[in-house]
Amino acid sequence: MLLVLSAEHRAHLGCLPRAGGAAVGELGRMALEQLRRGAAPRACESAARKLNITVDIIQHGVEGLVYLLTESSKLMISEVDFQDSINVLGFSDELNKSLLQLYLDNRKEIRSILGELAPRLPSYHSLEWRLDVQLASRSLRQQIKPAVTMKLHLNQNEDQTAQVLQTDPATLLHLIQQLEQALGEMKMNHCRRIVRNMK
């Protein structure tokens, strides 16, 4: 699986040859620090002075490396696929080897950082439901108005919460059909590959 880079990301990574071979290691270190702790403008300014290049080149280089490393780590692309992905940038062999080594040395740590940043979503615990039917009202002597009331119990961070939902049977049937269609699509090879790469 190749990583497809947008024109903006190619432009940011295009700053790397201007920074020079020695600077790529420094920019890689800064990219990893940005992933761990967030952006640090002062670090960019001091690196620009130290490497004798503009702050813009440093910032764009770091942003390009952050994108390249995070997306490659998310997809867990192989060494060959990573090389093929950066070959389109037209960098020298030395720079390509430096980027590959940076990726191989840090992909596990980057995946763990991304895992910590992922939102903790609630999980299903149980469901209670009830069917109510209104047969008549003061204005209408004969009517049938069904409603399904559901109480959805969720687990979130070791706490249990409940959501009460109410709908009519036609909407509920449509929702079931949509969920069944989504489950059917999850069985397709393309979706299986995506899920496998997300783990």
Question: For 60-84, how does the pLDDT look when each residue is reduced to its tens digit (9 = 90+)?
Answer: 888 888 888 888 888 888 888 888 8
Structure tokens that stand for 45 in this block: 């300014």
- Tell me what pLDDT residue 198 has: 58
Residue 116 in this model has a pLDDT that exceeds 90: no
Are 108 and 132 within 8 A, CB to CB? no
Q: Evaluate if pTM is beyond 0.85.
A: no
* Mean pLDDT along residues 168-177: 92
Cα distance between residue 66 and residue 60, in whole Å: 10
Q: Helix (H, G, I), strand (E, B), or coil: what is residue 143? A: coil
pLDDT of amino acid 126: 93
Q: What angle do CA 75, 80, 82 make, to 5 degrees?
A: 45
Is 86 strand, coil or helix? helix
What are the residues facing 124 on neighbouring strands? 154
Contact 87, 96 (CB under 8 A): yes
Residue 68: what pLDDT? 87
How many angstroms separate the most distant Cα atoms in the chain? 86
Contact (Cβ atoms closer than 8 angstroms) between residue 95 and residue 14: no
Least confident span in 49-53, 101-105, 107-111, 150-154: 49-53
Evaluate whether 2 touches 68 at the Cβ level (below 8 Å).
Answer: no
